[in-house]
Chain A
Amino acid sequence: MSSPDPAAPTTAPPTGGALLEVAGVGVRFGGVVALDGLTFEIQRGSICALIGPNGAGKTTLFNVISRLYPATSGSVTFDGRDLLKVPPHGIARAGIARTFQNVALFPGLSVLDNVRVGAHTEGRVGFVRGLVGLGWPENRRMAAESMSILERLDLAHLASRPAAGLPFGTLKRIELARALASRPKLLMLDEPANGLTHAEVDELAATIHRLRDEFDLTVLLVEHHMAMVMAISDHIVVLDFGRRIAEGPPEVVRNDPKVIEAYLGTADDGDGGP
């Protein structure tokens, strides 16, 4: 497996303290414990990866942070505020944007409109103003801003096409554009390399780096593509059975015996990992 070799990161390891603090977060679904006392931090400006075998709780944590699942215990602090008090539609305004594992674009809208919707929190026109036609100036402004994002992701030529029936990799880039439209502080990517070709993964790694620098982002990703994770992450958190079993920079995590065991099992195990 060749390691992607993106342009060397232009910024030094991040400073500025923790943007996201997860403290003792637990999630139960009936009798199933999906997350158990999970604690870790993400530093501003860093790229943090969440890895672990299937069912480890990575997507659950994602959904807790994006407020789609309630946490049964613990706390999540984002940019100094208690995130668990924020309703699901409040995370965008708080500065969090995310993509979805199976690409949740709006097929009834064009590519441009998908991105414009991403900037929903940047607008103000509601029902009344929309009806009487006061929304047009805002529309134009948002269109211009969205187009510039599309250009940066090499998608401008698709602006007026419906956001459906396009190659999977393209759809993922569109979803990325939509996430960027809300000018987030934290960008959460749910398995971004899933379904991409080798070349596309390399491109993705470079893109994530570039976007982190250009948009001044902090990135949290859930990912299975180990090579990419190892190559671009500043910090890795490893989950298994809902708990954190290891944490640290790639070199440390890669050699941690607990991590290896979680994925591959011990020498005595008859069955292998994922």
Chain B
Amino acid sequence: MDLFIRYILIGIGNGAVYAALALALVLIYRTTGLLNLAQGEMALFSAYLSWWFTTHGVPIGLAIAFSILLSMIGGAVIERVLIRPVTAPGKSHLNVLIVMLGMFLAINAISQLLFSTDAEPMPKPWPSVSSPGDPVGRSARLLDIGNTSISWAVGALALTLIGLCLFLYLLLQKTKLGLALRAVASNPASARMVGINTSAMLMVGWALAAGIGALAGSMVAADRGSVSPGLMTVVLVYAFAAAALGGFDSPVGAVVGGMIVAIAESLTIGYVDALSTIELVVPFALILLVLLVRPTGLFGRRVVERV
């Protein structure tokens, strides 16, 4: 039983990360209709950025905050400069796809060029216990359940996710900005006609997604203890699986999907030996299954085209 709880807890911790990145994916999908393949690498850049701040004496919490801010600016710029010129309603997604592939490669490489090609230690924004030879340390215990314990990592990640959801909910449902964003996501032409600056809203959407990605990336790095070039590639696949499962246009789905994918992964790896060596089969198979059997996922809405 303790083992089971442990797997669940690991799942929750990972799930929070997948869900956060999936939220970023959903945000961009809702506002621009695109699946951003470069989201993971953008998050990687942000994680490296957080690390960079810490090497200059900034405490980790503040470092992450700065990184989020700068990433948001970066996200807006990317939308305006790279994405906007190749997207238009009705145009094929091919050119955008190539641009995103280019971004995927370039952002990863630029991260390595600007920051580091190695794995760099990442401090934790929550209590940790260090030991000689392990300067970054492992997460401290938060709570005890039976014979196992919940580590601060899981607690912090879960809390972060909750906070993120709350923030997004308040922003999107309770503010004018959120209303404008939702309007543009739903019908850009009409939104423009009622005076909403559609261009700005698209940039805001990408900025928010980049900020969320920055948070997710930094948390992943903190949890793992280091930032490395390959940090987010795998996470992105899981995030896509989460978003697909939940329905690409559903924030609730992203969170639920993230949890399901992570817990399923954790239990599978824990209990089924044969699958433990096959990386990425679970998320990709899930993506295939969802998209082919029920493309709208668990919570997505069907869009019917008018003839």
Nearest-Cβ distance from residue A228 to partner chain B, whole angstroms: 23
Nearest-Cβ distance from residue B285 to partner chain A, whole angstroms: 31
Interface string of A68-96 (1 = CB under 8 A from B): 10000000000000000000000000000
Residue A63 CB within 8 A of the other chain? yes
Interface string of B276-307 (1 = CB under 8 A from A): 00000000000000000000000000000001
Nearest-Cβ distance from residue B94 to partner chain A, whole angstroms: 13
List the B side residues contacting A63 at CB < 8 Å: 307
Majority SS at the chain A contact face: loop
Question: Which chain A residues numbered 13 to 70 have a C-beta less than 8 Å away from chain B?
Answer: 59, 63, 68
User: Which range contains the number of A residues in contact with the other chain?
Assistant: under 10
CA distance A63 to B304 in the complex (A): 14
List the B side residues contacting A59 at CB < 8 Å: 307
CA distance A68 to B307 in the complex (A): 9
List the A side residues contacting B307 at CB < 8 Å: 59, 63, 68, 100, 104
CA distance A68 to B305 in the complex (A): 11
Nearest residue, chain A, Cβ from B304: A29
Nearest-Cβ distance from residue A33 to partner chain B, whole angstroms: 17
User: Which range contains the number of B residues in contact with the other chain?
Assistant: under 10
Nearest-Cβ distance from residue B303 to partner chain A, whole angstroms: 14
CA distance A68 to B304 in the complex (A): 12
CA distance A59 to B307 in the complex (A): 9
Interface string of A98-124 (1 = CB under 8 A from B): 001000100000000000000000000
Nearest-Cβ distance from residue A163 to partner chain B, whole angstroms: 15
CA distance A63 to B307 in the complex (A): 9
Interface string of B222-244 (1 = CB under 8 A from A): 00000000000000000000000
Nearest-Cβ distance from residue B91 to partner chain A, whole angstroms: 11
Nearest-Cβ distance from residue B89 to partner chain A, whole angstroms: 14
Nearest-Cβ distance from residue B130 to partner chain A, whole angstroms: 59
CA distance A31 to B189 in the complex (A): 28
Nearest-Cβ distance from residue B189 to partner chain A, whole angstroms: 14
List the B side residues contacting A68 at CB < 8 Å: 307
CA distance A86 to B266 in the complex (A): 49
Nearest-Cβ distance from residue B255 to partner chain A, whole angstroms: 27
Nearest residue, chain B, Cβ from A66: B307
Nearest-Cβ distance from residue A263 to partner chain B, whole angstroms: 24
Nearest residue, chain B, Cβ from A59: B307
Nearest residue, chain B, Cβ from A104: B307
CA distance A264 to B307 in the complex (A): 28
List the B side residues contacting A100 at CB < 8 Å: 307
Nearest-Cβ distance from residue A100 to partner chain B, whole angstroms: 7
CA distance A220 to B307 in the complex (A): 18
Nearest residue, chain B, Cβ from A29: B304
CA distance A104 to B307 in the complex (A): 9
Nearest residue, chain A, Cβ from B90: A107
List the B side residues contacting A104 at CB < 8 Å: 307
Closest 5 pairs between A and B when the two form their complex, measured CB to CB = A68-B307, A63-B307, A100-B307, A59-B307, A104-B307
Q: List 5 A-B contacts (CB under 8 A).
A: A59-B307, A63-B307, A68-B307, A100-B307, A104-B307
